[in-house]
Structure 1
Amino acid sequence: MFAKGQTVIQLVERLAPKHIAVPDDKIGLQLGTLRKEIRKVLVALDVTDEVVEEAIRVNAELIVAHHAIIYRPLSHLQTDTPAGRLYEKLIKHEIAVYIAHTNLDVAEGGVNDMMANALKLEVSGHLEDIHTDKLKKLVVFVPDTHQNQVREAMFGAGAGWIGKYSHCSFNIAGTGTFVPQEGTNPFIGKPGKLERASEIRIETIVPESVEKKVVQAMLKAHPYEEVAYDLYPMDLNGRTFGLGRVGKLKETVKLESFARQVKQAFDVPFVRVVGDLDRDIKKVAVLGGSGSRYVRHAIFAGADVLVTGDIDYHTAQDAIAAGIAIVDPGHNAEKILKNHVADWLNERLIEQKADTRAVASEVDTETFKLL
């Protein structure tokens, strides 16, 4: 059985939730429909004509890409322009395009973590915090016979995390009272008669971002017709998601040696290096994509070097003056996401017993060449 497009995207958004994206980022479904079965998903960095041809060749009905194909509202759709021809080909072949951009950058296990892991960094933080989950306290009263299934349903939906501890709850035994009225179908007791039930008060923590999902899971697992529960706002913050990563190498290396490591780790044809090639490198900041405006963040974090793409001339001069090195592997270094996301999706699809499969695009969308 093949998964519907909506199901595939629910899995993508489990890895890269939309709410953690940078505000106004162009993410989500940009072309086509998800209301159909998907046999194959093509995971790509960019959606170029060559990538679309690849999708047609491998019979993919959905492309999950990192970079948007529509950046601003369209005033027209002329099929004699490069963009128009691209959209026309996608529509004719019924290929949908879904974009996961800064939400995939920011996500735990996303692009910036992939890049940090490729450089074997011991990560200690972000370059810039983007989103912090607010926490709420969920309290629900459950008959003691069903406490385990209700707890597990809430935990499975994302409740119960305190730092790196999962399945956190507090449970108190007590007696609940109620009188089922006419027209009810009580799980315990009879209409018109006061009932006393042995119940457990379960308290747990719920991040605001998964509040609806947790409440729905709790209600579905609860045996009562009418569930007694409370949801309290708390003056506490949960997990913080951010752009970029900062970490340390296991051993200090020279900038020249480190730059060669970056080139190999990201499988790019070249890197541009700013700084004294003989300087020591220990603390590293890494950011996928264009990172010119994050040089100051890297300096503030105490990094010896910033690894990022699209550094311009004047930013490079400012970096030298500020005493920080830069290794620029280009924007295309983000292609590291293709295999990782395809593998992650396939694991989730297999768990769901779906026959849909994801494949990583083999098209190299590197724009620049060295002569």
Structure 2
Amino acid sequence: MPTVGDILLRLQGIDPTAHIHLGSRATPVARVLVTPQLTAPPAAPDSMVVSPRPVIPLGCASLNEDAPLPRLAAELVRRSVAVCLLGSGFLESPEGAHGALADAIGLVNAVPLVPAASIPRKLVTFVPPAALQAVTEALAAAGAGVIGRYSHCTFRGAGTGTYLPLEGAEPYAGEVGRLEEAEEVRLETVVPAHLVPRVVSALLAAHPYEEVAYDVYPLVATGGAGGVGRVGELKPPRFVADLARDAGGSVVAGQPAATAERVAVVAGAATAPMVEAAAGRAQLLLTGRASDQALYVAAVAGLSVVEVGYDMSMRPALARVAKHLRGPDAVEVIGPD
């Protein structure tokens, strides 16, 4: 039976930022539930959950079961149900939530509404050969080394490192006061920017040296279609009310009888800055939901807004995730498709 770790590796093929939110990589899995948000533990045994919405709230300091979300998290732990959380890659990548929503309503020539600001980093460290596999596995488990549909991506080059242990040092190899020439491997890998602290912590925990030498380099963006939201064209143009009806939503700002040719979409929740970005480039914004401030900005800017609900805005992308997770093994994948 596949494990949570096996499913996570498959998941990271489409979202390198996906990670374990709750549970263990070693837990066996027979069923995977792909859902916009989890409200109750899966009924079937040997289940795991894939979702973009965390169960444990940000900043939660304890699992006090008097509160609903900690109570749900504690019950998942008791039932050994792991939760894998989709990250910024799921939202911002060309095939992510924003892009899938744009495709679902028929946008053409769609581009990011707000281009992605997060560019991966390159991590370089120097490892004794005996520890190379353990360090590589630790970095991969922390989210490093994912490129497209490949994980554990590294470059390795053999070389010689030098160091002279000073008084009080406890060297992995060599003696205090004597210059040491050690056989080492230069290990390079890529790391999503937001995972750098976690990956570095994993490196320091797995590396055998007392003082670990490592460098983190910024990389340069070379194009691509990643970013928050999408804006494109509807051909032919459509009435706002008709588009809202077909998308299963409602018009919450603007005129239902207005015509929209340039349309922006934001999966999940649209904020005021996103509305500002859409106002100069589109006649209509379709989103899961918009904040009160976002709706105020839309009213001032004369931008129509259609809300379809958080779950509905995530369904097209989660259907793609479920399809990707279905493989030759016996795991049952339950998704919104």
State if a TM-score over 0.5 links the two structures.
yes
The change in CA–CA distance for 1:254 and 1:96 in structure 2 (over 3 A counts) is same
For residue 260 of structure 1, report the CA deviation from its aligned partner. 1.5
Partner of 1:284: 263
The change in CA–CA distance for 1:239 and 1:315 in structure 2 (over 3 A counts) is closer
3-state secondary structure, aligned to 1:3: coil
Residue 39 of structure 2 corresponds to residue 39 of structure 1: no
Unaligned runs of 5+ in 2: 123-145, 150-187, 193-217
The change in CA–CA distance for 1:117 and 1:79 in structure 2 (over 3 A counts) is same
3-state secondary structure, aligned to 2:263: strand
Distance 2:38 2:234 in 1: 34
For residue 79 of structure 1, report the CA deviation from its aligned partner. 2.9
Percent identity among equivalent residues? 22
Is the 8 Å Cα contact of residues 288 and 331 (structure 1) preserved in structure 2? yes
Is the 8 Å Cα contact of residues 285 and 307 (structure 1) preserved in structure 2? yes
For residue 62 of structure 1, report the CA deviation from its aligned partner. 1.0
Residue 19 of structure 2 corresponds to residue 3 of structure 1: no
3-state secondary structure, aligned to 2:95: coil
Residue 9 of structure 2 corresponds to residue 28 of structure 1: no
The change in CA–CA distance for 1:131 and 1:11 in structure 2 (over 3 A counts) is farther
3-state secondary structure, aligned to 1:37: coil
3-state secondary structure, aligned to 1:244: strand
Partner of 2:55: 69
Partner of 1:316: 295
> Aligned partner of 2:7: which letter?
V
The change in CA–CA distance for 1:304 and 1:100 in structure 2 (over 3 A counts) is same
Is the 8 Å Cα contact of residues 246 and 286 (structure 1) preserved in structure 2? yes
Partner of 1:250: 235
For residue 316 of structure 1, report the CA deviation from its aligned partner. 2.5
Structure of higher CA gyration radius = 1
Unaligned runs of 5+ in 1: 19-26, 137-155, 160-205, 211-232, 264-269, 363-371
Query: 279, 292, 298: which is aligned to 2:278?
Result: 298
> Aligned partner of 1:34: which letter?
R
Is the 8 Å Cα contact of residues 15 and 90 (structure 2) preserved in structure 1? yes
Distance 1:250 1:105 in 2: 25
Distance 2:261 2:226 in 1: 24
Partner of 2:140: none
For residue 243 of structure 1, report the CA deviation from its aligned partner. 1.0
For residue 108 of structure 1, report the CA deviation from its aligned partner. 2.3
For residue 288 of structure 1, report the CA deviation from its aligned partner. 0.7
The change in CA–CA distance for 1:317 and 1:134 in structure 2 (over 3 A counts) is closer
The change in CA–CA distance for 1:122 and 1:135 in structure 2 (over 3 A counts) is farther
RMSD over aligned Cα atoms? 3.1
Partner of 1:358: 333
For residue 305 of structure 1, report the CA deviation from its aligned partner. 0.5
Distance 1:245 1:283 in 2: 11
Alignment of 1:1-371 (within 5 A): 2-18=1-17, 28-49=19-40, 52=41, 55-57=42-44, 59-131=45-117, 237-263=222-248, 270-293=249-272, 294-300=274-280, 302-336=281-315, 337-346=317-326, 349-350=327-328, 354-360=329-335
The change in CA–CA distance for 1:277 and 1:48 in structure 2 (over 3 A counts) is same
Is the 8 Å Cα contact of residues 288 and 309 (structure 1) preserved in structure 2? yes
